[in-house]
Amino acid sequence: MKRIVRALSACAVMLLIGWYCIPQVYRLLHLPDVVEQKDLTSAPTLELRQNDARFVRESGDERLNGGSVRIALFGILPIKTVSVISDTRSVVLGGEAVGVVLKTRGVQIVGFEKVDTSHGSVCPAASAGLREGDMICAVNGKAVIDTDSFVLLCTDASETCELSCIRNGETFNTVLKPETDRNGEKKIGAWVRDSTSGIGTLSFYDRESRAFAALGHGVTDMDTGKLIAPAEGFLTTAKIREIRRGTGDSAGELIGSFSVHAEDAIAKVDRNTAFGISGTLGSFHSTNPKSVEIAPNAVVHRGNAYILSTVDGTVSAYSVEVIRLDVQSSRETQGVMIEITDPVLLSKTGGIVQGMSGSPLIQDGRLIGVVTHVFISQPTRGYCLYADRMARELLPVG
């Protein structure tokens, strides 16, 4: 009997030692006892890698209890309690519909086509090593302003074109030889675009600096799916003219009108990122310029909340339910799942529709998130980006 007890005790000790040797657990045990709230934006595991952040979750409804965060493995086995010193930031809420206009740096390749020549079908652009999403900034040393100037520079070239390009932030040069098709026209075998525009929602802005954040996701090219690198971007006021409800096979949409001319801009767009667009407001004035605090991620909880959005001409509040919370450990991870419960909004849109991206999400009097995505098959539900993460990525510090 004593041997059995000793054997079981030895096994227990070995399991305990093994438990505390798990890398994720070891790192958590060595977290500081007191941290600032800003250190919890990506995941409650602080210094852990993304895989660790998925491995370890906060427990319960992920609210702070008495200024501390209890961290548990798989949300069950407690590991450590960390006291949190919260640093807060106040912003002015948006909710207004805006027109978003982004003009690219040069032109962007969005597709390829074969050129039917006397010696067969060829694609000069592909043969030159170009890819979808590449930006072409100059031809033979001359700057590309728009699609018209690009076509003119290529067709006026005597034999070959030396292209100055950008791919994934890296510059490179390549030589392209336009081909003459059977109709006598010079072609390079590529489709290009110099701008994009659409309707979105202003999320929030800093009262003093006038720095703003909007959309909650990046503006991508519709053909390539790549982020557009704007040489010039701006916002204009938008008027909603029509609402197309989601069908279950395709997302609904807010149809509106807005100016695409820079002289009508209410804000300048400086950045287009995976977390949204940002820049500086000019002539814009909020319809409800009350400042609210941005809630730390850890205080967000399941339950009642509301969004601010413009679907019929004015900014209105619509009730929603926060139904799920996730650790936002990467740009691709959406932190908050909501369900639209407001009968008025449901009757108008059927749920979340395109154009509502950027609508601020408020809970307990604080800004907690921004609407970013909708489930096409279930338009009453969608994802939000944590407002704290978005503000830290897009607004200047201070």
Supply the CATH number for residue 165's domain.
Answer: 2.30.42.10
* pLDDT value of position 264: 92
Looking at the structure, do residues 303 and 261 belong to the same domain, yes or no? yes
* pLDDT value of position 53: 34
* pLDDT value of position 151: 87
Neighbouring residues of 142: CB distance < 8 A, sequence distance ≥ 6: 153
- Conformational region of residue 276, where left means phi above 0, alpha means psi within -120 to 50, and beta covers everything else: left
Looking at the structure, do residues 184 and 249 belong to the same domain, yes or no? no
Looking at the structure, do residues 355 and 257 belong to the same domain, yes or no? yes
Read off the tokens for 5. 């007890």
Query: DSSP readout, 302-322?
Result: SEEEEEEEESSSSEEEEEEEE
Is residue 7 included in any domain, yes or no? no
Could you state, in chain order, the average pLDDT of each consecutive group of 10 residues for the chain (398 residues)? 67 59 58 51 35 34 44 59 65 94 86 87 90 90 89 83 88 90 87 88 94 91 72 89 81 88 92 92 81 91 95 92 78 78 94 93 95 89 92 84
Looking at the structure, do residues 164 and 214 belong to the same domain, yes or no? no
Looking at the structure, do residues 30 and 96 belong to the same domain, yes or no? no
Is residue 10 included in any domain, yes or no? no
Looking at the structure, do residues 79 and 122 belong to the same domain, yes or no? no
Looking at the structure, do residues 176 and 215 belong to the same domain, yes or no? no
Looking at the structure, do residues 161 and 200 belong to the same domain, yes or no? no
* pLDDT value of position 55: 33
pLDDT digits (tens, 9 = 90+) for 243-288: 988 777 778 899 989 998 889 999 999 999 889 999 999 988 777 7
Count structural domains, the chain: 3
* pLDDT value of position 61: 36
Looking at the structure, do residues 265 and 349 belong to the same domain, yes or no? yes
* pLDDT value of position 41: 43
Domain boundary among 140, 160, 188: 188
Read off the tokens for 108. 């962007």
Is residue 332 included in any domain, yes or no? yes
Is residue 220 included in any domain, yes or no? yes
Catalytic residues: 217, 342, 357
Is residue 143 included in any domain, yes or no? yes
* CATH code, domain with 373: 2.40.10.120
**CA proximity to 338, closest of 297, 382, 396:** 382
Q: What is the CA radius of gyration of the chain?
A: 26
**Rounded Cα distance, 379 and 381, in Å:** 5
**Rounded Cα distance, 68 and 63, in Å:** 9
**Rounded Cα distance, 64 and 70, in Å:** 8
Is residue 290 included in any domain, yes or no? yes
* pLDDT value of position 168: 80
Looking at the structure, do residues 210 and 172 belong to the same domain, yes or no? no
* pLDDT value of position 158: 75
Domain coverage including residue 71: 22-85
Domain boundary among 137, 162, 188: 188
Looking at the structure, do residues 96 and 178 belong to the same domain, yes or no? no
